Chain A
Amino acid sequence: MAKDKFHTLVSRAVPVDVENVDTDQIIPARFLKATTREGFGDNLFRDWRYDKDNQPIPEFPLNNPKYSGKILVGGKNFGSGSSREHAAWAIYDAGFRVVVSSFFADIFKGNALNTGLLPVTVSERFLRKIFDAIEKDPKAEFETNLVDQTFTILATGEKESFEINTYKKECMINGFDDIDYLLNIKKDIEAFEVSRA
């Protein structure tokens, strides 16, 4: 399905300064009962956002009105665990378009890209600077530039470049997805099947 095109995003950011955020925290299994892709955002970080009586926990950044924006900043080793793409859908559905960390689990990274959510890997030092910038001023803005592959802390002008393979970059910029690509090379796939029969 064609996705939103992504070039540059200037936005505030929401910090979740926790290491090893696993997919069971991002979207607990008991909320995976839907058969469509929408609506998972309501249960994003469910057990950190709400207490046992379903009351919002005010300290959790997603409940704290001083934070907003389309960039989610997480601690090291973000998205480990399950292959559930629902984790990426939940983040996307909650309005985020970029997720920043110093280290992503493999499957999560792939799922995010397939969802139209851009995973940006920065160094640990730079990640700390981003958290510090938000801490200092929750209204601080950041620029994610996919074309140049850079992430900038606008308040200080400090920037770092991030990696993404050329193919995936083109896909995000043009709003294409892998399935479009694969459907277009069906002849090659059939020829491959014949060749190994």
Chain B
Amino acid sequence: MGSTLFDKIWDAHVVKEIKDGPSVLYIDKHLIHEVTSPQAFGGIEKRGVPVFRPERTVATPDHNIPTIDQHLTIKDQLSKFQVDKLTENCERHGITLYGINHPYQGIVHVVGPQMGITQPGMTIVCGDSHTSTHGAFGSIAFGIGTSEVEMVLATQCIMQPKPKKMKITVNGDLHKSVTAKDLILYIISKISASGGTGYFVEYAGSAFTSLSMEGRMTVCNMSIEMGARGGLIAPDEKTFEYIKGREFAPKGADWDKAVAKWKQLYSDTDAKFDKELTYDASDIEPMITYGTNPGMGAKIKSHIPKLDEMPASERLSFEKSMKYMGFNAGDELQGKPIDYVFVGSCTNGRIEDLRAVAEFVKGKKKADNITAWIVPGSKMVEKMAIEEGIVATLEAAGFKMRQPGCSACLAMNDDKIPSGKYAVSTSNRNFEGRQGPGSRTLLASPLTAAAVAVTGHLVDPREVM
């Protein structure tokens, strides 16, 4: 019997198996940021052990940093302390750091791919659940807790039980104006926010292979939102083309050798998965979430489910969610007034996302009732956006450009959606209070976000194009 792509990569990284226990898994690349690493450094220092392979860890601050006036000292003392700690820890242990104002700084999951750090066949971890993003390159990438960050620093390994494998196939072509974000929101709405728990997902089929690398990253990024540890897509020519020439990509003869190896990374036709799901691309339309977990999504042109449309066991939590959102079962989605639009995050803060928004709003103005923030995923994205005239277009339309960081995706800094306000957000979580206490989040694609910014209410972007 053949092997899955996941098995091929996993098995090549197992240092040791423990009977009726986890495997010791070797980690190729470790990304760290200011929020989940300080306790890990504290831990190894307490034990008196050094960082085992400092060259395999790369650091950048993102979660907690301000997105305005980044050239000034951080005002929030606690944030400043975390960022200073990261700098100090990296200096002391010889770890590469792209600090604030460094041309490579950005959201950790935007930085890895843009630098060519993320490559097919690798194991990649980070103390952040959206590490799954890197799976777009055909790597095993997943989020870890701080104790595990400490393990990687101390030994370059973690202990992991092997997850089960799921294959999600979407065949056919996506309709025009249906994006990678709609595709993944659709899948999560089908299998629920916990339907992938215990699994690692491989995405296959023409709906995924036809996506750009950016689109594939958006899909893999949200694997965690169905409870899966991560998701991956077999690498192909598009993948190699994307990596080629980037700072840390192999060069010369090494490049050819690497590509030859990467070409072996696919699931054998007779490989066995623990679960397989198949959807049809033609059924997918622009999506929006209406509740407080990413599984509560629907086509924008449809309505919030009626109570009799759902299993009795889910009604209680559904009603709690509706109360929080200020919505009613059965409500039409289109036409709902919105207050904020947030374009950014590691899900949709890459250059392609900003291009999509700019193309849509060019020559238009945002609606008066909307506050629109655009937060590039990295310094490099910001630079390209300025050079391509995207920033000028967006500012002319009344959008506010901010500087790179996680920003309103998790609202650790000042970028908070006020209590009770509605935000259409290109990020990945619509949990209660995720974007600030009392904030109400509706997840959508950058294109939908742009359409909402212009009309001031929830709308299927195809109706205003």
Contact = CB atoms under 8 A, between A and B. Distances in A.
Residue from A1, A106, A110 with most neighbouring chain B CB atoms (10 Å)? A106
Given A29-B410, A196-B12, A85 B145 contact: yes
Contacts of A25: 431-433
Chain B interface secondary structure, helix, strand, loop or mixed?
A: loop
B316 A19 contact: yes
Contacts of B129: 81-83, 107
B250 to A, nearest CB: 15
A178 B227 contact: no
Contact of B193 (A77, A107, A178): A77
B16 interface: yes
Interface residues of A, number: 54
B24 interface: yes
Interface stretch (A56-64, A135-143, A160-168): A160-168
Contacts, number: 181
Nearest to B79: A33
Interface in A162-191: 165-168, 177-179, 181-183, 185-186, 188-189
Contacts of A179: 43, 47, 147, 150-151, 154-155
A35 B85 CA distance: 8
B194 A77 contact: yes
Contacts of A192: 15, 26
B49 A183 contact: yes
A181 B159 contact: yes
B145 A52 contact: no
B260 interface: no
A182 B429 contact: no
B337 interface: no
Contacts of A95: none
A55 interface: no
Contact of A20 (B12, B76, B159, B293): B293
Nearest to A28: B433
Contacts of B434: 24, 29
B170 to A, nearest CB: 24
A167 B127 contact: no
Contacts of A107: 129, 143-145, 229
Interface in A7-47: 18-20, 22, 24-25, 28-30, 32-37, 47
Interface string B24-68: 101000000001101100110011010010000000000110000
B81 interface: yes
B320 to A, nearest CB: 7
Given A185-B16, A186-B155, A81 B431 contact: yes
A55 to B, nearest CB: 14
Contacts of A32: 35, 63-64, 412
A105 B227 contact: yes
Contacts of A114: 145, 147-148
Interface in B141-173: 143-148, 150-151, 154-159, 161, 163
- Which 9 pairs show the lowest CB-CB distances between chains A and B? A167-B21, A85-B145, A83-B143, A33-B78, A114-B147, A35-B38, A111-B145, A166-B20, A83-B129
Interface of B: 12, 15-16, 18-22, 24, 26, 35-36, 38-39, 42-43, 46-47, 49, 52, 63-64, 76, 78-79, 81-82, 85, 127-129, 131, 143-148, 150-151, 154-159, 161, 163, 193-194, 197-198, 227, 229, 292-293, 316-317, 320, 410-412, 419, 429, 431-434, 437-438
27 contacts: A1-B43, A24-B410, A24-B429, A28-B433, A29-B412, A33-B35, A33-B76, A35-B82, A52-B438, A80-B194, A81-B431, A82-B143, A83-B131, A103-B194, A106-B229, A166-B19, A167-B22, A178-B147, A178-B148, A178-B151, A179-B155, A182-B154, A186-B52, A189-B24, A189-B26, A189-B157, A192-B15
